[in-house]
Amino acid sequence: MTIESFLTDKFCKAIEKLYLQTIDINQIQIQKTKKDFTGDYTINVFPFLKISKKTPEQTASEIGNFLKNNLEEINSFEVIKGFLNLSFSDSFWINELNKTSEKTENTLTDSKNILIEYSSPNTNKPLHLGHIRNNLIGHSLSEILKATGNHVTKVNLINDRGIHICKSMLAWQKWGNGITPGKANIKGDKLVGDFYVLFDKEYKKQIAELLAKGKTQEQAENETVLILEVREMLRKWEAGDAEVRKLWITMNNWVYNGFEKTYKILGITFDKTHYESQTYELGKKEVYKGLEKNVLIKKDDNSICADLTDDGLDEKVLLRSDGTSVYITQDIGTAIMRKNEFYADKMIYVVGNEQNYHFQVLKLVLKKLGYDWHKNISHLSYGMVELPQGKMKSREGTVVDADDLIDEMFATAKSISDELGKLDGLSEVEKTEIVKMVGLGALKYFILKVDPKKNMLYNPVESIDFNGNTGPFIQYTHARIKSVLRKANEISLNVPEKVLENTEINETEKSIIKLIADFKNIISEAATELNPALIANYVYTLAKEYNQFYHDFSILKEENTDKRNFRLFLSSVTAKRIKDSMRLLGIDVPERM
């Protein structure tokens, strides 16, 4: 039972005893007391004045006196107008600390089967900074949803077919001269990405030539030799042309090998990987079924559309006039296939906010096709990642390559750690392991501490600072606590499994206990709001509070045995909370630094 649930139950009983009436628990408003006032939790009594038939102050005072006189957990109370501020006893908080050391995660009674899609790369380019945010959000949410008792299936949809993939293939055919990742000595996803950029460069040249001959922008974009050739290649691919399919398989395999190396470094895994090439045909069949049912329409050019004007949108093309599919075609097929395979109660798509319209359309089309579960689809629309120098563009080759960024983070972590002497006395193997841990921790935390729905500016230098709201600061706090516990063991001081409830504690210690006790609520809130930033900022606050405690009070040199045992126990539980919180973010914490 959470503290809020405990207070809700006791408040209801107080109303029954004092005013002989039962109340709806949804009327009860409980929140943590603001720092400007005395108290731990605040209850708003204004909704109950009709029951008490007294002033707000009188009502709050009566309820406060009843709770204080009937609950040993309540130490005192204060009334501010119609707000009742309750203070718990030290023994209550120590008991909470003892309880929370036993179990770290919450379990919901209404566990759901949740499918969450993230990553979803195209096989025409390597993973970049935007993909990193996608992957980190998806992985963290999966862990948070599991921690709240749900069954989670992590899926990746690789966009392995379509016009963009054909652009890389055509460019390789024209200008590759048989080059391979092995011959070029680079990762396959990077090699294919280079040809995607090359296509765009040559395509723009041809557009400029047609514009110079008097063509309009639209005519030029649609009449270049390259665009006509790439459209023909896509048509051949969908028709099963052997030569095109062979090249497609070869180049996609280059990309998959590159993706796998990046995923491994980031610690990203999936329970299932789907491929657009395996789902688009099912999507096409559904589109034709919709046409037969007259819920979709065929245009004069033979393209098939969904008329969404009644829903405030427009007509959406589902199949082109030449019969080839578009992105949403495969998403229709994928959604249906997943529902049949996993029986998901909810399907969450972690996709950037530039695709908001796409997912509006997907749900509406599925509704038109007769699938009631369309309402169980949720689009986690995350914001874009920008750099100090501006927005990234894949076609122009101005993206921040994921592998390059990770290597930069490792190098920066090593440089700063050496400069600060953080790794002095460790073996080279330990140094290498911790540098990687800190580099990845800095990257992951800096991205995840921002609400997913917001755009963010990524600054690599800021992310790896050992002070402030950063991953390395939290990792170093964990290592510091572990150092204290090791020293305690070296001088034969054992960390107790529980502490005495009558131990005297100060306000800083109580503040840490409150944070530790709030862990379950934070996880539940993060799961409900699909927001890992709540976990990130929680663990930063906990680390910051512990560091204040560490600087202000003695632990190993404390002469009072009960206080020393309490502080060792508090340190041990804090380290566990930090480790558990960071794990939910996909971040490892070192035992020493």
391-446 tens-digit pLDDT: 444 444 456 889 988 998 998 888 888 888 878 888 889 889 999 999 999 999 99
The more confidently predicted of residues 417 and 366 is: 366
Locate all alpha helices (DSSP H) within 354-453, ordered by sequence: 356-368, 402-420, 428-448
- Helix pair angle (225-238, 242-266), 10° resolution: 90
Residue 307's pLDDT band, with cuts at 50, 70 and 90, is very high
**Least confident segment among 137-151, 342-356, 358-372, 405-419:** 405-419
Averaged pLDDT, 44-49: 95
pLDDT of residue 102: 66
Q: Which residues are within 8 A (CB) of 320 and not within 5 positions of it... i.e. 6 or more apart?
A: 303, 326
CA–CA distance, 443 with 445 (Å, rounded to integer): 6
Given this structure, which CATH class describes domain 3-88? alpha beta
The more confidently predicted of residues 275 and 393 is: 275
Asked if 108 and 503 touch (Cβ cutoff 8 Å), the reply is: no
CATH superfamily of 403-584: Isoleucyl-tRNA Synthetase; Domain 1 (1.10.730.10)
pLDDT of residue 395: 44
- The DSSP bridge partners found for residue 297 are 305
Q: What is the pTM of this model?
A: 0.90
Residue 243: pLDDT over 80: yes
CA–CA distance, 539 with 577 (Å, rounded to integer): 8
Kindly list the distances between the CA atom of residue 525 and the CA atoms of 154, 206, 519, 558, in Å, as whole numbers in the listed order.
21, 53, 10, 37
The more confidently predicted of residues 408 and 269 is: 269
Q: How many CA atoms lie within 13 A of 74 on its CB side?
A: 21
572-589 tens-digit pLDDT: 999 999 999 999 999 999
**Least confident segment among 23-37, 158-172, 294-308, 454-468:** 454-468
176-200 tens-digit pLDDT: 999 999 999 999 999 999 999 999 9
Averaged pLDDT, 453-469: 88
pLDDT of residue 501: 86
Averaged pLDDT, 526-554: 97
Asked if 138 and 118 touch (Cβ cutoff 8 Å), the reply is: yes
pLDDT of residue 392: 42
**Least confident segment among 104-118, 138-152, 269-283, 386-400:** 386-400
314: left (phi over 0), alpha (psi -120 to 50) or beta: beta
According to DSSP, residue 418 is labeled H
pLDDT of residue 323: 86
In terms of Cα–Cα distance, which of 137, 115, 130 is closest to 526? 137
pLDDT of residue 399: 67
Asked if 37 and 85 touch (Cβ cutoff 8 Å), the reply is: yes
Domain boundaries, the chain: 3-88, 403-584
According to DSSP, residue 389 is labeled T
State how far Cα 438 lies from the chain centre: 19
Q: Is 306 helix (H, G, I), strand (E, B) or coil?
A: strand
